[in-house]
Amino acid sequence: MSETDTKKYELNNNPDLAWDVFENAIEGILIADANGIILKTNRAFEEIFGYSDDELKGKSMDSVIIHNVIDDSEPPANQTDKNGGREIDLKRERIITVAKSGEKIAVTGRLTFSGTGDSFSTAFILEPLDGNKSGFQYYADKLARLNAELGNKVKQRTLMLEETILELNKAREELKVALEKEKELNDLKSKFVSLVSHEFRTPMASVMSSVDLLELLSKPENNPGIKLYLQRIRGSVQNMVEILDDLLTISHIENGKESVQKDEFEISEFFIESIAEIRRQRKCLQQVHYSHTGDEWAATDRHLLIQIVHNLLGNAIKFSEADTTITVNTRAEAGQLFIEIKDQGIRIPNTEMPHLFERFFRASNADHVPGTGLGLFIVEQYMQLLNGNISFQSEVNQGTTVSVTIPMMK
């Protein structure tokens, strides 16, 4: 058996191999029945002519082949008859075809008939011609054209990328300038807030000293009117001092001047002192009850914790009426400090809970209570520095409970 016969035998007995050869051949292959109706085309054929297999299937070969010239001077290359079957392989012929785009393409093709009796199938194996170039040269040239087109696209994309990079660099420089200006403005704002705070503190301290002196000399217990006016003055001054303190604190936070330091202190002593420091804020007959359980010592930033406790306890006092009780419970265990402050004040509306930590936020039912809306914003910023958590629970006629959890520093 010759090598050619061996290959034919392998193809006939291995359908998968035959299919792979058909689909991956570099020549365009068209298979039609005895009536010239197209049955199948391979990928190369679809690429050359622009048709899909479904577009041609069932159509006449005349829709693609519009003229062919067979060189009758050359006899068929091969003609066999086996078991009544015939296989005729004609010599190459020059064929004029039409692509889907309407372009006429000159190709060389080998026309093959196979079948038995009156049943035949026809296969055209087509290679495009470009002048006198072979099919292989055609594909080589086509590949070169595609590479050239790809190179042009790469150049275009490269230019676009370079322009984009230039724009990004320009935007980055503009952003850098804007950030420097913003930093400069923040520095100016910080200096201004610090200046105003310190300049106002001196006259405020003088006013408070004068109030204390008047209270001592005038014996307000014998003159209720004087006592009321002195209380109003003291309250107004205290509010102004709180506003200045809050603005100064926010300025320090925004400029990264607040740092965290580890302090070790006795928990009960710390909270007793903190409660005593704000005793002047308490209303008539207001009581603050304190209790502690668990470990006695805490390890966290003492300064930040003072600010947190003063703000939360101050809110509990402000939003509770006279002759009410505020409860402060602390517990230390498992490396964490738990703080709970419960008042009997006005309820925080549920719809406004998500806004509690926003800057300058005031609850809709708190207009009658003095304040800036900065206290809880500052508390939340400090909680972030301490990696702690804070939550609120508020119910009608039962007041508000604030729960704070702060991990101990190692």
**pLDDT of res. 110:** 65
Contact assessment for residue 401 and residue 392, using Cβ atoms and an 8 Å cutoff: yes
| Strand 287-294 with 325-333, pairing | parallel
Q: Which of 357, 351, 336 is nearest to 402 (CA)?
A: 357
Torsion angles phi and psi, residue 278, rounded to 5: -110, 20
**pLDDT of res. 268:** 95
CATH number for the domain running over 3-129: 3.30.450.20
Q: Which CATH class is domain 259-407?
A: alpha beta
| CA quadruple 258, 261, 263, 268: dihedral sign | positive
Contact assessment for residue 36 and residue 60, using Cβ atoms and an 8 Å cutoff: yes
**pLDDT of res. 124:** 60
Going residue by residue through the chain, which has 410 residues, state the pLDDT in tens, using 9 for 90 and above. Answer: 555 555 555 555 667 777 777 787 777 788 888 788 888 888 878 877 788 878 888 888 777 776 554 444 444 444 444 434 444 444 456 667 777 777 777 676 666 656 544 444 556 666 555 544 444 555 666 678 778 888 888 999 999 999 999 999 999 999 999 888 888 877 777 777 677 777 777 788 888 888 888 877 777 667 777 878 887 888 788 778 777 777 778 777 777 777 889 999 999 999 999 999 887 788 888 899 999 999 999 999 999 999 999 999 988 998 888 889 999 999 999 999 999 999 988 888 888 888 888 888 888 777 777 777 888 888 999 999 999 999 999 886 678 999 999 999 98
Contact assessment for residue 71 and residue 108, using Cβ atoms and an 8 Å cutoff: no
Structure tokens given for 201: 């503190």
Question: Distance (Å, rounded) from C-alpha 234 to C-alpha 221?
Answer: 16
**pLDDT of res. 165:** 92
**pLDDT of res. 134:** 46
**pLDDT of res. 111:** 62
**pLDDT of res. 72:** 45
Contact assessment for residue 399 and residue 343, using Cβ atoms and an 8 Å cutoff: yes
**pLDDT of res. 341:** 95
Contact assessment for residue 234 and residue 208, using Cβ atoms and an 8 Å cutoff: yes
